[in-house]
C-alpha cells in the first residue's frame, strides 16, 4: 500500500506550520504592542500640545485685542468733544497700519456712528453686540461671513470719565490671520485643528467651507460625546473609531474667549516606524521559514531514504512475500535496529508458516494423526498450542461422528419401520372418521328438519293462543254488555211503572174534572170536553204502558237466557285457552329440546371434524416421517462412509 504523504512532507509541513504560527503570534503581539505604545504616547503628549497650541491662539487673539485697546485709548476717540473728522482720521490711520477689514464706532443702540463705507450699518444681528451690552468689556465675536469674506470682529466699549458708555469701537480682521495660526499647528500629515464655540460650531479650520457652513463638530467626527467633552472647558484626550482608522482628539479651552481648540490626529500617522518594524519582522520570519524548510527537507530526505528499504520490505511482507531477504541499513541509528528486527521477524515468521503449512496440508488430506513440532516464540506459541488443540478436538469429534453414524444408521432403520406402521394405522383411522362424519351429517340434517317443524308448530300455537285470547276478551265484553242491557231493562220497567201511575192519576184527575164540569153546568161544558179528552188519553197511556211492560218482561227473560249462554261460552273459551297454553308450553319445551340436541350434534360434528383433521395431519406426518426416516437412513450411511475416510489416532 502506497503512503498518501511522505514523512519528509509531513516533517516539512509541521515545521512550516509551527514557524508560521510563531510568526503570526509574533507579528500580532508586535502590532498590538506598537498600537498600545502609540496610544499611550499620544495620550500623554497630545493634551500638552493642544494646550500649548491654545495658548498660542490665545496670544494671537490678545494681540488683536490689544490693537483695539490702543485705538480706543486715543484722545480723539475718548474725548466726546473731538470732532467726527478727528475720529475718522484716527480710524483711517489705524486701518492703514493694521490689517483691518473695517473699523468703526457704534452708538449704544448698535447703529454706525463713525466709519467708512465697509462698516455695517448696525451690529444688532451680530452675536458680539449683546455680549458687549452685557459685559461692558472686550468681546471677540464668532467668525462672520460678510459677503464672500470671512471676518473676525473684536469690540470694545468706550467709556467717559464717569464710566458711562460713549460708543462701541469695533474692528474686523480678515479670517486669514486666524487661518495662518491654525495652519501652523502641524502635528501629523493628516492631523486637523478645529476652533469651536460653545454650541459646537466650527469657527476655525483649514477647510473654510466648514467655517462658512458653521458645521457641527459632532456631525463631522460622527461621535456626539466628543463634542460634549471639547466644549466642557477641560483639557484632555479621547480615542474614537473612524470609518477608516482609529483617531485621537486632544481638546483645551482658549482663555479670554468662548472658543475651544480641538486637534484630531490619526493613529496610523504615528504607526510608520511600528509598521516598518512589523514588516521587518515578517521578512525575517519568511527568511527563517525558507532556511528552516531547506534544512528540514535535507534532514527528512535522509530519514526517508533510511526508511524506504524497511517500508518496501514491509509492503512485500504484507503481500505475502516471505522469501525475499531483508536489506539491513548501516545508518547506526534506530533505522538500522528497525531493519535488523524486521529481518529477524521475517525469518521467524517464515519458519512458523512453513511448519503450519505442512501440518495443514496433511490435515487437508484427511490425516488427523499429526501434531505441530518445533520451537515457537511469543504469541506464536499460542498459535502452536491452539492448532494442536484444534487437531485433538477434531480427531475426537470425528471419532464421535463415526460412532454416532453407526448408531444413527441402526436407529434410522427402526424409525423407518415404526413410521410405516404409524402411516398404516393413520390411514385406517382416517377412513373410519370419514364414515362417522357422513353419519353425523345425516343425523344433523334430520334434527334440523325436526327443529324446523317444531318451530312452525310453536308459531301456529302462538297464533291460536292469540285468537283464543281475542275470543275470550270479546266474550267477556259480550257478557258485560248483556249485564248492562239487563240493568237498563230493570230501569225501563221502573220508568214504565211510573208512567202507569201517572196515567192512573191523570185518569183520576180527568174524572174529577168531569164531575166538576157537570156541576158547573153550562160554564163547564168546554172544560168537560177537555177532561173527556184527557181521560181518553190517560186510558191510551195506561194501555201502552201495560203493553210496554209485557214487552220489557219478555226482553228481560231473553236477556237472562243470553247472559246464561254467554257465561257458558266464556267458560268454554277459558277451558280452550288453558289447553292452548299447555300445548304452547309443550311445543316450546320440544323446541328447546330439539335446539339443545341440534347444538350438541353440531358440537359433536365439529369435534369429529377436528379429530378428522388431526387424523389427516397424522396421516400426512406419518408419510413425511416415513420419507424422512428413509432419507435419514441414507444420510447415516453416507456419513458413516465419509467419516470412515479419515485417519485417526485410534486406527494405529
pLDDT of residue 644: 66
Give the Cα separation of 375 and 352 in Å (integer).
9
pLDDT of residue 271: 65
Decide yes or no: CATH 3.40.50.2000 for domain 13-275: no
Beta bridge partners of 367: 647
Mean pLDDT in residue range 269-292: 72
pLDDT of residue 157: 93
Give the Cα separation of 288 and 21 in Å (integer).
13
Mean pLDDT in residue range 617-632: 72
Nearest to 206 by CA among 229, 186, 222, 224: 186
pLDDT greater than 70 at residue 237 = yes
Give the Cα separation of 135 and 643 in Å (integer).
135
pLDDT of residue 1: 45
Mean pLDDT in residue range 91-109: 86
pLDDT of residue 502: 80
Choice between 378 and 564, residue whose per-residue pLDDT is larger:
564
Mean pLDDT in residue range 501-509: 77
Nearest to 139 by CA among 73, 69, 77: 69
Share of the chain above pLDDT 90, in %: 4
pLDDT greater than 70 at residue 206 = yes
Q: What is the pLDDT of residues 417-449, one digit of tens each?
A: 766 776 676 677 677 767 777 777 777 677 777
Rounded to the nearest 5°, which phi and psi values hold at 377? Answer: -120, 155
pLDDT of residue 170: 93
pLDDT greater than 80 at residue 196 = yes
What average pLDDT does the chain have? 76
pLDDT greater than 70 at residue 523 = no
pLDDT of residue 9: 66
pLDDT of residue 104: 92
pLDDT greater than 60 at residue 111 = yes
What is the H or E stretch that residue 152 is in?
A: strand 149-159
pLDDT greater than 60 at residue 3 = no
Mean pLDDT in residue range 175-199: 82
Tell me the domain boundaries of the chain.
13-275, 388-643
Mean pLDDT in residue range 480-509: 75
Q: Which residues lie closer than 8 Å to 77 by C-beta, 6 or more apart?
A: 71, 87, 90, 105, 158, 169
Give the Cα separation of 551 and 426 in Å (integer).
98
pLDDT of residue 330: 66
Termini Cα distance of the chain: 50
Mean pLDDT in residue range 499-504: 75
Q: Which residues lie closer than 8 Å to 543 by C-beta, 6 or more apart?
A: none
What is the H or E stretch that residue 389 is in?
A: helix 379-520
What is the residue whose three cell numbers read 482628539?
Answer: 249
Kindly state the DSSP code that residue 141 receives in the 8-state scheme: P
Confidence of residue 643 (pLDDT cuts 50, 70, 90): low
Q: What count of Cα atoms within 13 Å lies in the side-chain half-sphere of residue 54?
A: 28
pLDDT of residue 524: 66
Choice between 589 and 143, residue whose per-residue pLDDT is larger:
143
pLDDT of residue 557: 77
Helices (H), 319-378: 334-364
Give the Cα separation of 234 and 219 in Å (integer).
21
Helices (H), 73-167: 75-78, 84-97, 128-135
Long-range CB contacts for residues 125-131, cutoff 8 Å, separation at least 24? 126/153, 128/153, 128/155, 128/170, 129/155, 129/168, 131/155
Q: Which residues lie closer than 8 Å to 238 by C-beta, 6 or more apart?
A: 225, 226, 229, 248, 249, 251
Choice between 136 and 598, residue whose per-residue pLDDT is larger:
136
What is the H or E stretch that residue 207 is in?
A: none
Give the Cα separation of 418 and 423 in Å (integer).
9
pLDDT of residue 652: 47
Q: Which residues lie closer than 8 Å to 540 by C-beta, 6 or more apart?
A: none
Q: What is the pLDDT of residues 296-346, one digit of tens each?
A: 777 666 666 666 666 776 776 677 666 677 666 666 666 667 666 766 676
94: Cα separation from own chain's centroid: 87
Exposed/middle/buried for 143, CB within 10 Å: 0-12, 13-18, 19+? Answer: buried
Mean pLDDT in residue range 401-428: 71
Max mean pLDDT among 13-27, 64-78, 277-291, 601-615 falls in 64-78
pLDDT of residue 105: 92
Give the Cα separation of 532 and 543 in Å (integer).
17
Handedness of CA 288, 291, 297, 302 (dihedral sign): negative
What CATH number belongs to 388-643? 1.10.287.950
pLDDT greater than 60 at residue 381 = yes
pLDDT greater than 60 at residue 549 = yes
Asked whether the beta carbons of 174 and 151 are under 8 A apart, the reply is yes
Amino acid at each position: 500500500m502506497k503512503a498518501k504523504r511522505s514523512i519528509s512532507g509531513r516533517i516539512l509541513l509541521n515545521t512550516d506550520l509551527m514557524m508560521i504560527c510563531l510568526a503570526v503570534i509574533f507579528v500580532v503581539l508586535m502590532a498590538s504592542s506598537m498600537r498600545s505604545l502609540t496610544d499611550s504616547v499620544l495620550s500623554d503628549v497630545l493634551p500638552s500640545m493642544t494646550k500649548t497650541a491654545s495658548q498660542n491662539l490665545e496670544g494671537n487673539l490678545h494681540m488683536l485685542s490689544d490693537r483695539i485697546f490702543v485705538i480706543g485709548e486715543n484722545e480723539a476717540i475718548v474725548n466726546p468733544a473731538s470732532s467726527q473728522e478727528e475720529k475718522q482720521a484716527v480710524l483711517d490711520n489705524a486701518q492703514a497700519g493694521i490689517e483691518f477689514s473695517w473699523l468703526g464706532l457704534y452708538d449704544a443702540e448698535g447703529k454706525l456712528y463713525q466709519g467708512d463705507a465697509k462698516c455695517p450699518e448696525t451690529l444688532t444681528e451680530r452675536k458680539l453686540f449683546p455680549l458687549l451690552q452685557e459685559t461692558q468689556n472686550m468681546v471677540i465675536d464668532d467668525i462672520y461671513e460678510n459677503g464672500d469674506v470671512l471676518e473676525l470682529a473684536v469690540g470694545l466699549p468706550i467709556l467717559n470719565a464717569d464710566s458711562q458708555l460713549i460708543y462701541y469701537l469695533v474692528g474686523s480682521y480678515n479670517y486669514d490671520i486666524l487661518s495662518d495660526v491654525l495652519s501652523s499647528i502641524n502635528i501629523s500629515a493628516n492631523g486637523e485643528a478645529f476652533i469651536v464655540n460653545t454650541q459646537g460650531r466650527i469657527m476655525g479650520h483649514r477647510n473654510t467651507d466648514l467655517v462658512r457652513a458653521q458645521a457641527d463638530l459632532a456631525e463631522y467626527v460622527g461621535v456626539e460625546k466628543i463634542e460634549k467633552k471639547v466644549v466642557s472647558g477641560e483639557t484632555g484626550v479621547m480615542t474614537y473609531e473612524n470609518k477608516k482608522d482609529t483617531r485621537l482628539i486632544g481638546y483645551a479651552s482658549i482663555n479670554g474667549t468662548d472658543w475651544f481648540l480641538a486637534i484630531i490626529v490619526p493613529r496610523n500617522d504615528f504607526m510608520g516606524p511600528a509598521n516598518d518594524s512589523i514588516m521587518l519582522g515578517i521578512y525575517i520570519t519568511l527568511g527563517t521559514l525558507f532556511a528552516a524548510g531547506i534544512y528540514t527537507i535535507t534532514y527528512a530526505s535522509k530519514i526517508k531514504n533510511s526508511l524506504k528499504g524497511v517500508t518496501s520490505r514491509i509492503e512485500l511482507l504484507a503481500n505475502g512475500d516471505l522469501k525475499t531477504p531483508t536489506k539491513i541499513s548501516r545508518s547506526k541509528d534506530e533505522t538500522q535496529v528497525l531493519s535488523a528486527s524486521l529481518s529477524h521477524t521475517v525469518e521467524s515468521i517464515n519458519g512458523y508458516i512453513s511448519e503450519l503449512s505442512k501440518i495443514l496440508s496433511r490435515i487437508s488430506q484427511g490425516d488427523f494423526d499429526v501434531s505441530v513440532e518445533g520451537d515457537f516464540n511469543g504469541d506464536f506459541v499460542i498459535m502452536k498450542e491452539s492448532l494442536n488443540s484444534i487437531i485433538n478436538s477434531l480427531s475426537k469429534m470425528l471419532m464421535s461422528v463415526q460412532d454416532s453414524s453407526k448408531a444413527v444408521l441402526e436407529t434410522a432403520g427402526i424409525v423407518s419401520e415404526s413410521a410405516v406402521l404409524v402411516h398404516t394405522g393413520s390411514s385406517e383411522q382416517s377412513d373410519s372418521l370419514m364414515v362417522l362424519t357422513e353419519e353425523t351429517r345425516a343425523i344433523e340434517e334430520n334434527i334440523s328438519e325436526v327443529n324446523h317443524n317444531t318451530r312452525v308448530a310453536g308459531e301456529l300455537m302462538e297464533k291460536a293462543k292469540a285468537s283464543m285470547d281475542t275470543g275470550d276478551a270479546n266474550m267477556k265484553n259480550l257478557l258485560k254488555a248483556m249485564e248492562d242491557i239487563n240493568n237498563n231493562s230493570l230501569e225501563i220497567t221502573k220508568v214504565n211503572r211510573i208512567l202507569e201511575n201517572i196515567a192512573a192519576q191523570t185518569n183520576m184527575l180527568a174524572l174529577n174534572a168531569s164531575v166538576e164540569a157537570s156541576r158547573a153546568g153550562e160554564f163547564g161544558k168546554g172544560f168537560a170536553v177537555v177532561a173527556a179528552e184527557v181521560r181518553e188519553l190517560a186510558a191510551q197511556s195506561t194501555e201502552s204502558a201495560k203493553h210496554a211492560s209485557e214487552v220489557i218482561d219478555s226482553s228481560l227473560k231473553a236477556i237472562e237466557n243470553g247472559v246464561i249462554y254467554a257465561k257458558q261460552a266464556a267458560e268454554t273459551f277459558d277451558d280452550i285457552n288453558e289447553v292452548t297454553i299447555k300445548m304452547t308450553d309443550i311445543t316450546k319445551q320440544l323446541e328447546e329440546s330439539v335446539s339443545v340436541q341440534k347444538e350438541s350434534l353440531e358440537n359433536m360434528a365439529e369435534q369429529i371434524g377436528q379429530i378428522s383433521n388431526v387424523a389427516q395431519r397424522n396421516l400426512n406426518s406419518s408419510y413425511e416421517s416415513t420419507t424422512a426416516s428413509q432419507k435419514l437412513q441414507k444420510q447415516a450411511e453416507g456419513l458413516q462412509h465419509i467419516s470412515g475416510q479419515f485417519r485417526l489416532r485410534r486406527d494405529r
